[in-house]
Every structure is written in structure tokens, then in C-alpha cells.
């Protein structure tokens, strides 16, 4: 029990945080207990849940460095069954501060070990880099979800990500798997989206979630209201896509668990 899934792609602006925020909401609404770990110093998942990130007493940074227990840092969100481990710019120091810690790449895994079984799912929203933070997420997790923006150069960088994944699997976390690929900001009308999708299919075939997330303004607006899209515009195309994605995610989980 207690599956940890990292949302990773070292490219910024591809929809990692939007996907983590909204998938977490719908999976929690389906009755699963979910913890969303904001693992980006930008703290977008934190502010996206209406949490004032600059007034926090403790953040994921303190849990990571072993100065606080995760239990003391976790906050409730506006969604039942969903908690968040918040982040802010303090986390930017971790890349440097972790260096003096033994087994620095396992700090997040250690921090989460005590609460792992309190949740059905722990989603980690990774920063846009392949540095020590992302490495920690990959060591801590059971699997990775890769959001890919359906645009030109979409696969640029993905090879690097897969390379890091392979190294982690060989040396640090042999059980790690690719959970799936989510196509974000998809535009049905353009042949470009279709071409890029064909390319991505060649690469990831059956790992791809068949529900693409369309470009939708409601997904952009909802963080400014401090809520996931389900509380802002539940009938919007963006909301319906993430709802369908959550359904497919949970169906795959059920199949995997027999
Ligand atoms: P990342 O976490 O990978 O940096 P974000 O989730 O923060 O990416 O998304 C980057 C920007 O794109 C944000 O402004 C976000 O609101 C916007 N965005 C994400 N997904 C969509 C979408 N499906 N439609 C329109 N805008 C989106
Ligand atoms: Mg982000």
C-alpha cells in the first residue's frame, strides 16, 4: 500500500504541476487518500491550493533535511482526502545543503517512509531539472508519470529524462517503472499535435494515457483562485479531461493489482 508517483519532465511549462494538482484532486474525490508533495522551489502546487507559501512555519525542505517530521508539515487542502506537503523558495537551498548529508539522494525516501502507509497515493510534483531534487524523487518513487506537451521539440529532453531513469533503475531504485505519459495542452485541430502524438506513441506506445488534456483557460485560471479545476469549472473541457485521466489511472491501478 502507499504508492509513490513522481511527475517529472525537466522541461518547464509542460504541465507537470497542473497535472499533479488536478489528478490528485480527482483521485482523492474517488475516495483514495492522497498526499501531494510540492517538490519544486517555485511552490506552484502549494499556491495552487490556496496556501500562502511565504508564511509557512515549515515546508518540505525541513522534512527533507530531517529537521521536521513530514507529519508536522503536512497540511489539509480544500479537497477531502487530499493533503499537501508544501514548498517554497527554501527548497532552492536543498540542492546545496543536501550535499553534506549521507545518502543525499535518499533524503526524500527517508522523509516519506514514516507516512507512506497513511496514504493510498503520494504524488510528487518535480522541479524542471534533473538535479538532486529530481534524483531524490526518482529514488523515493515507485513510478514516474511524464507529462509531455504536444508541441514541436516535445521529445527533446525526454531522452535525457529516460537516461536518468535508467541510471536510477540500475543503481538506486531497481523497482522504478514508467507509470505513463500524459499528453498536455493538446490541440485537436492542428496536424502538429497529431504528428507529435504519433512520434510520442512510437516512443512510449501503451504507456500513454489515451485521454489527452486539451488547452483550456479554466486550467490556467483555477490556481489563481487557490483551487483545482473541479472546484472552479467542473464542466470545462480541462476538468473533464483530468477527470477521465483519473478514471483511467485508477483502472490501470486496479488491473495492475489484479
Ligand atoms: P510545469 O509544472 O511543467 O512547469 P505547469 O503545469 O505550471 O507546468 O504549466 C505551465 C503553464 O501552462 C501554466 O501557466 C499553466 O497554467 C499552463 N497550462 C498547463 N496545462 C494547460 C492546459 N491544458 N491548457 C492551458 N494552459 C495550461
Ligand atoms: Mg511545475
Q: At CA 50, angle to CA 76 and CA 238, rounded to 5?
A: 100
- Determine how β-strand 82-85 pairs with β-strand 34-38: parallel
Give pLDDT tens digits for 154-194: 787 788 999 999 999 999 999 999 999 999 998 877 777 77
Q: Whose CA is nearest to atom 27 of ligand 1?
A: 220
200 versus 179: the higher-pLDDT residue is 179
Query: pLDDT at position 206, please?
Result: 87
The runs of H, that is alpha helices, within the chain are 16-29, 44-48, 60-64, 70-73, 94-97, 107-113, 132-140, 158-171, 191-204, 217-221, 229-232, 237-256
Ligand 2 centroid to residue 73 C-alpha, Å = 20
Give pLDDT tens digits for 59-77: 999 999 999 999 999 999 9
154 versus 88: the higher-pLDDT residue is 88
Ligand 1 atom nearest residue 238's Cα: 23
Indicate whether 153 pLDDT > 80.
Answer: no
Q: Whose CA is nearest to atom 1 of ligand 1?
A: 13
Region 3-13 average pLDDT? 96
Give pLDDT tens digits for 201-250: 888 888 999 999 999 999 999 999 999 999 999 999 999 999 999 999 99
Ligand 2 centroid to residue 175 C-alpha, Å = 25
- CA 99/CA 257 separation, integer angstroms: 37
Q: Among 18, 124, 229, say which to mutate for ligand 1: greatest number of ligand atoms within 8 Å of CB.
A: 18
- Per-residue pLDDT band for 1 (boundaries 50, 70, 90) equals confident
- Per-residue pLDDT band for 36 (boundaries 50, 70, 90) equals very high
Determine if ligand 1 sits within 6 Å of the CB of residue 14.
Answer: yes
User: Looking at 73-82, 103-112, 154-163, 191-200, which range is the least confident one?
Assistant: 191-200
Question: 23: which 3 cell numbers?
Answer: 489528478
Amino acid at each position: 500500500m502507499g504508492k509513490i508517483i513522481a511527475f517529472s519532465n525537466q522541461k518547464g511549462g509542460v504541465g507537470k504541476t497542473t497535472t499533479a494538482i488536478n489528478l490528485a484532486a480527482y483521485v482523492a474525490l474517488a475516495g483514495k487518500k492522497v498526499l501531494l508533495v510540492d517538490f519544486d522551489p517555485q511552490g506552484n502546487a502549494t499556491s495552487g491550493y490556496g496556501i500562502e507559501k511565504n508564511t509557512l512555519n515549515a515546508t518540505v525542505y525541513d522534512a527533507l533535511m530531517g529537521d521536521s517530521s513530514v507529519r508536522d508539515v503536512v497540511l489539509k487542502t480544500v479537497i477531502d482526502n487530499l493533503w499537501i506537503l508544501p514548498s517554497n523558495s527554501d527548497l532552492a537551498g536543498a540542492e546545496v545543503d543536501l550535499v553534506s548529508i549521507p545518502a543525499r539522494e535518499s533524503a526524500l525516501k527517508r522523509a516519506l517512509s514514516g507516512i507512506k502507509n497513511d496514504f493510498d497515493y503520494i504524488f510528487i510534483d518535480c522541479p524542471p531539472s534533473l538535479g538532486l531534487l529530481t534524483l531524490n524523487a526518482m529514488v523515493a518513487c515507485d513510478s514516474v508519470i511524464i507529462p509531455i506537451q504536444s508541441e514541436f521539440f516535445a521529445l527533446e529532453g525526454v531522452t535525457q529524462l529516460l537516461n536518468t531513469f535508467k541510471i536510477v533503475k540500475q543503481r538506486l531504485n531497481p523497482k522504478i517503472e514508467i507509470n505513463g505519459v500524459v499528453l498536455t495542452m493538446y490541440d485537436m485541430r492542428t496536424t502538429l499535435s497529431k504528428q507529435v502524438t504519433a512520434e510520442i506513441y512510437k516512443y512510449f506506445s501503451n504507456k500513454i494515457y489515451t485521454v489527452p488534456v486539451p488547452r483550456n483557460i479554466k486550467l490556467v485560471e483555477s490556481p489563481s483562485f487557490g483551487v483545482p479545476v473541479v472546484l472552479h469549472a467542473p464542466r470545462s473541457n480541462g476538468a473533464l479531461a483530468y477527470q477521465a485521466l483519473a478514471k483511467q489511472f485508477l483502472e490501470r491501478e486496479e488491473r495492475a493489482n489484479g
